[in-house]
Amino acid sequence: MKMDNKVSGMVYGLVIVLLVVNLVGIVSGLDMDIEPNSSIGQAQSIDVGSYNGTLKITSSSDTTDWYKINVNGYEVLFVNFTNAPIGSDMALTTNYGTSKISVTDVTSANLAYAFSSSVPYAGIKITSNNAGGYNFTVEKMPQNDGESGSDASTAYTSSAPLVTSGFHSGYLCGDDGTDWYRINVPKNKFIYVNVTPNSNMRVDVVLKLYSSMDNQDSDTGVGLGDEVGVCDFTQDAQEYGLGITLQEGFGAYN
């Protein structure tokens, strides 16, 4: 960390604020459990909404139900199973059925995942050896990292969102492991970045100088309430890159 006391008080700050995710309640479930649906190839296409299904009702072989939903690159998919037969396993998968996030032996689960742009649609899987009904709600949230209208870049390139002094928010989840921003800092200014992740996540933060791509300051394992920041002082106008990498959990950071 480089600081210069001669110009203290000339602070060029970037702070990012909490993104409020409003998971809108959806009315009454739709039954899209159309058998056979025991593989992703047989999955019914669904969209956001609320759904009902059953396991081991149509036949003793009905131990698994699959659904699929289109996802745009790094759009965050939320699937909330509010009830299910005892001992159910749930998963969100790629279009090839590869599990990305899963839970086992539960009767409810709240799953979230952001799939990379190489995944055209996601799979939703529920399986149990016990009979019974289940309900789940599906929501999708496009990202708006740094008010860019989409996900911030996974690498420090010229396409990373340019942000100015002030409050900004971003989101990290699943395949979306890193967000990069660009910040232009005028000469003789401090750049100070305070990053606060959501309560269930930890992130690593790095500040790079574009001209050299050298790390100027960094912090790892940043959690809620850590009150950490990265800063630097620039004698010339400089472009900086700010990289925020998910270490664990998922959610909004500010």
Residue closer to Ca ion, measured from CB, 37 or 238:
37
- If one asks whether residue 65 binds Ca ion (CB under 5 A), the answer comes out as yes
Q: Which stretch binds Ca ion (CB under 5 A): 12-20, 173-181, 202-210, 237-245?
A: 173-181
Contacts for 233 with CB less than 8 Å, ≥ 6 apart: 2, 3, 4, 7, 189, 190, 191
Number of residues engaging Ca ion in binding (CB under 5 A): 11
Secondary structure of residue 222 in the 3-state scheme:
strand
33 binds Ca ion (CB under 5 A): yes
181 vs 192, beta carbon nearer Ca ion: 181
Residue 89, interface with Ca ion (CB under 5 A)?
no
Containing H/E element for 139? strand 132-141
- The secondary structure of 168-206 as a DSSP string is --EEEBTTB-EEEEEEEE-TTEEEEEE--B-TT-EEEEE
Tell me whether residue 72 or residue 188 sits nearer to Ca ion (CB atom).
Answer: 72
Please tell me whether residue 75 binds Ca ion under the rule CB under 5 A. Answer: no
d(CA 160, CA 243): 10
Beta bridge partners of 134: 53
Query: Shortest Cβ distance from residue 143 to Ca ion (Å)?
Result: 5
Considering only the stretches 58-66, 206-214, 215-223, 244-252, report the one whose residues sit in contact with Ca ion under the rule CB under 5 A. 58-66
Number of other residues whose CB lies within 10 A of the CB of residue 173: 25
Kindly identify the residues of this chain, within the stretch 179-238, that bind Ca ion according to CB under 5 A. 179
Closer Cβ to Ca ion, 176 or 232, answer by number: 176
In the complex, the smallest distance separating the C-beta of residue 155 from Ca ion, rounded to whole angstroms, is 13
Question: Is 3 or 155 the residue whose CB approaches Ca ion more closely?
Answer: 155
| Residues 73 and 117 sit within 8 Å (Cβ to Cβ) | yes
- Contact residue for Ca ion among 145, 207, 209, 234 (CB under 5 A): 145
Nearer to Ca ion, 12 or 253 (CB): 253
Bridge partners (DSSP) of residue 121 are: 70
Binding part of the chain for Ca ion, among 115-123, 132-140, 169-177, 206-214 by CB under 5 A, reads 169-177
d(C-alpha 234, C-alpha 115), whole Å: 37
146 to each of 90, 183, 250, how far by Cα in Å?
Answer: 32, 11, 17
User: For residues 16 and 209, which CB has a smaller minimum distance to Ca ion in the complex?
Assistant: 16
Provide the 10 A C-beta neighbour count for residue 122: 25
In the list 14, 16, 37, 252, the residue contacting Ca ion (rule: CB under 5 A) is 37
Which residues are at the interface with Ca ion (CB under 5 A)?
33, 37-38, 62, 65, 143, 145, 151, 171, 176, 179
